[in-house]
Every structure is written in C-alpha cells, then in structure tokens.
Amino acid sequence: MSQTPVQKWYSGKTIFVTGGSGFMGKVLLEKMLYACSEIRSIYVLIRPKRSKSPQARIEDWMKLPVFERIKREKPELFKKLIAVQGDLTSDGLGISPENHEKLIKETEIVFHCAATLKLEAKLKDAIDFNTTGTKRVLDLCKQMKKLQVMLHMSTAFCYCDKEVLNERVYDFHHSPYDLMRIAEWMDEKTLDQITPDLLKPHPNTYTYTKRLSECLVRDNYPQLPACIVRPSIVCPANKEPVEGWVDNLNGPVGIMVAGGKGIMRSMLCNGEYNAEVIPVDIAINGLITIAYTMGQMSELPPEIPVYNVTCRETKRTTWKEVLEMGKATAYEYPFEAGIWYPDGDITTSKLYHTICVVLFHWLPAYLIDFLMFCFGQKRFMCRLQGMVSQGLELLQFFTTRQWNFKSQQYQAIAQNLTPADYELFDMDVDRIDTKDYIRRIVLGGRQFCMKEPLSTLPKARIQLKALYVLDKVGKAFMIWFLTWSILSITGLKHIFSDTFTSN
C-alpha cells in the first residue's frame, strides 16, 4: 500500500516528545506509531516513578487499551519508543550527556506537550514546570542540528481577557523572564501572597503560566521553526485508538461520572453557552498534520504560526444540550453502586447553587459518613465531596463564560490534505454525531476510569430503579417534614389538625 504525503514526510524522521505519559501524549505516541510506522524513532522524555525506570514505565504503557491495536497488529513498532530519562524541572532537562548528544544530532521534530495541568497548583511550581520548563526545551531545541519543526502545546483558555481569540500571540504586560527570576529567588510564602494580584485576569496558575510560555516561544521565532497549538477542553476519543478511551476524570468526564453516580447534583454553569470541547483523537490528528504543514513551508511566515484546535462554528453544542444528552445516556448506561439517583441540574444563580450544594451535596455526605462511622466502616463521602466541590469551583470560570475561538488557520490544514490523508488523520468534527459521542464519553468513563465492564449494566440498571424509588420516597418525606416543621413553628399545625378532625 502506497504512503500518503503525510506518511512520506514522517518516514525516517526522529521525533522528541515531552509529556508522553499524559492523556494526549499517549494518544500522540500511539497514532504516530500506528499511522506513520516508517518513522525512525520516538524519544520520550520521562521520569522514573515508584522505583520504575523510564523504559519500564513505557513497557507498562503497552498493557493499556490505548496501545491495544498496535500490540495486536504491529507489536514490533514498540521498539521505536525510546525512553530518555529526564525532568522538565531540572537544569538541562536532567538529560544525561549521552542522551543529550543523541537528541541534538538526530532530532528533527519536537512535540512539547508536557505541562502541569493542576489548575490549583502553586505559582512557583506552575512557573517552574510550565514556563521555565518550556525555556529548557527551547534551549535544547536551539542546539538541534536537524530540527525542522518545534510544536508547543498551549491551551485555548490562556487569554481570559479576550472576548475573541484569534490565531496569534497577544502581548502581555508581564514578562516571562521577570516571572521566572521572581519564582527562582522569592520564597514561596511571599510569592503566594502576591499571586492573586499577579494572576488577574487569569483564574488559575495554569492559564497564566501557559500564556507566559507562549511569549517565550514567540520570542524564539523564527530562530526556531516553532508553532503554537491551542486545544480547547480535550475529551475522550471519538474513534481512535479505542472509542471513548480516557485515563483521567478531569473536565467533563469527571462531571459526567460524578453526576451519573449521584454525587454531584448542582453545577454553576450557563446552559446557553457553548461547550468548547474536542475529542482527543481529533486534536492529535491536528497536531500531526500541523507539524507536517510547518515542514512543507519553503519560507516561515513573519509571525509565529498559531493554531486554535477548536470546533468550528458549524459544530457548536451548548452546555444545556450536553446535560440533557448526558442525563439520557446515564439512564440508559448507568454506573454501578450510585450514591443517589442521578438527577442534577445546572444554574446561573450562585444563591440557588449554594443552597443545592448544602442540601444535596454536603448533607447526604455527612449523613452517609455518619452511618459508615456507626457501622465501623471507613468514611469517604465528605472527602469525596470536598474533591468534587474543589473541581466545580475551578471549572465554573470556564462554564459561566462564552468563549469565541477563531480557527481559520487550523481549519485550512484539513482542506489542504489529500483525500487519503483527510481520512487517515480525521480532523472533521462536523462528521461526529454529538449524541453518539456523549454515549462514548459516558461509556469511556465507566469502563476505563471506573473499571466497570459492560457486563455489569443489567445489575446497574436494577440499582438505578431502586435509587429512583428511594429518591421519590426521600423527596416526599422531605416535603412532609418541611411542611410539618413550618406549620409547627407558625402555629398553623393545630388549625389544620382541628379542620381535618372536625371533618
């Protein structure tokens, strides 16, 4: 079978990837090996973890569902994944002299995907990892003798002060170089005190440090053949490598799981606003074809190329539509052992949301933990609700704002691909059935995160019916109790009692 233009361009290439152990990183590695099998090798920057060597960690990845089709069809390709021990927070990336020499001699393409995604991370840690870490990668890239493309992964949410985000790097009143110096010499306590003022208008350290990183990459262009890629919220796979594959409960997946389990019953969100999400396989196909497009340029453009990897305006879905379809899917494919019947809702009222959180999040959590304590079991609900509340608080910045991402340059890439590459590296979100994709998200979260196989669905459906009855009985009792309490406090109880007795 003849190769497509994209496959030919990658043939024989040596690639260096940071962030290969992350959600997007694993899908990138898998797709590169599967679709561009003639690449020479992929060097992956990775740390030792739990006394396991970097190479041993890569070998463990091969047991994951994400690499199942390669293990089944092309197992020999695993040899092309080469671990490079290192750390984004170490000088020189912590790479040994031997590996450093290999990288600067052989690397032609760099995918810098590593970042700390913790929205609540301390500023010192976020700068060290996201901003200074990016500088360390750029310093290495400057030494690479064959470098053709350096692709830097950013986020579409790093410009919170822009009503419309075009595909360009905007000036920032903070210098990344100043912030890196401050983070280096200032003690953590003092830096924490000034963090709120530094972050404005950013809601967290993640978007702030990613914006600083974009400035660094721009400043090294065109000395480096770099580009910036900004995905929106990346969600489970639509088709590849496995339908619905996901390895974490971040973002919408965590919301759907928490809602499906009956743990989360209220969320501060404007249902009329667009849900800016994109399947991970669509985003990864974008990364691969963006690097290819950069490699085809005979001359670099005056300004650094930026690509907003987001849904086009013809394929927008509101949060309300996501909630309605998500609920219907959760009823059809319920989770096991739910805490309560999944019947949550979204609201724009902070007061109403607070009341719902107290009544339907924390009250049941304390009740369940009290019962667990009485029966001598380990308490967990209050701790779990604390995690859910923290996650909701971080997410509400993104769900209570309307985002307008322009992606003409990104959309143009697909239009310039050959029909064969267009099919092989599918970037067309218009072809995705939203309802069917939400089903894949729910089933993906169920199978890959909660480890609940499809064989448990009959039992889960019986449990859901029982929770439905319990929910109705519980609500009826609460209405009766509240009514009785109000009548007792106001003294109207005796009047009603006498009226019914006389009748």
Q: DSSP assignment of 199-252, as one string? A: HTT-SSHHHHHHHHHHHHHHHTTTTS-EEEEEE-EEES-SSSSSTT--S---HH
pLDDT in tens, 192-236: 999 999 998 888 899 999 999 999 999 999 999 999 999 998 999
**DSSP-derived secondary structure letter, 315:** S
Q: So what's the pLDDT on residue 387?
A: 79
pLDDT of res. 248: 84
Joined together, the tokens standing for residue 29 give 């590695």
Read off φ and ψ for residue 132, nearest 5 degrees: -65, -35
For residue 311, give both structure tokens. 């849904």
Q: What is the pLDDT of residue 497?
A: 65
pLDDT of res. 256: 86
Q: Report the predicted TM-score, pTM, of the whole model to 2 decimal places.
A: 0.92
> What is the per-residue pLDDT for 58?
87
What local confidence, expressed as pLDDT, does residue 501 receive? 58
Q: What is the pLDDT of residue 500?
A: 57
Residue 86 CA to residue 127 CA, distance in Å, equals 18
Residue 176 tokens, joined: 């990344």
Helix (H) or strand (E) holding 345: strand 345-347
* Whole-number Å distance between alpha carbons of 341 and 310: 34
352-402: per-residue pLDDT in tens? 998 888 888 888 888 888 888 888 888 888 888 887 887 777 788 888 888
pLDDT at residue 203, as a whole number: 87
In DSSP notation, 450-468 reads: S---GGGHHHHHHHHHHHH
DSSP state of 66: G
Position 502 scores a pLDDT of 57
pLDDT (tens place) for every residue of the chain, 503 residues total? 689 999 999 999 999 999 998 999 999 999 999 999 999 999 999 988 877 888 888 888 888 999 999 999 999 999 999 999 999 999 999 999 999 999 999 999 999 999 887 777 899 999 999 999 999 999 999 999 999 999 999 999 989 888 899 999 999 989 999 999 999 898 888 989 999 999 988 888 999 999 999 999 999 999 999 999 999 989 999 999 999 999 888 878 888 888 888 888 889 999 999 888 899 999 999 999 999 999 999 899 999 999 999 987 777 788 899 889 988 998 999 998 888 888 888 999 999 998 888 888 888 888 888 888 888 888 888 888 887 887 777 788 888 888 899 999 999 998 889 999 999 999 988 888 989 999 999 999 999 989 999 999 999 999 999 988 888 887 788 788 888 878 777 776 666 666 655 55
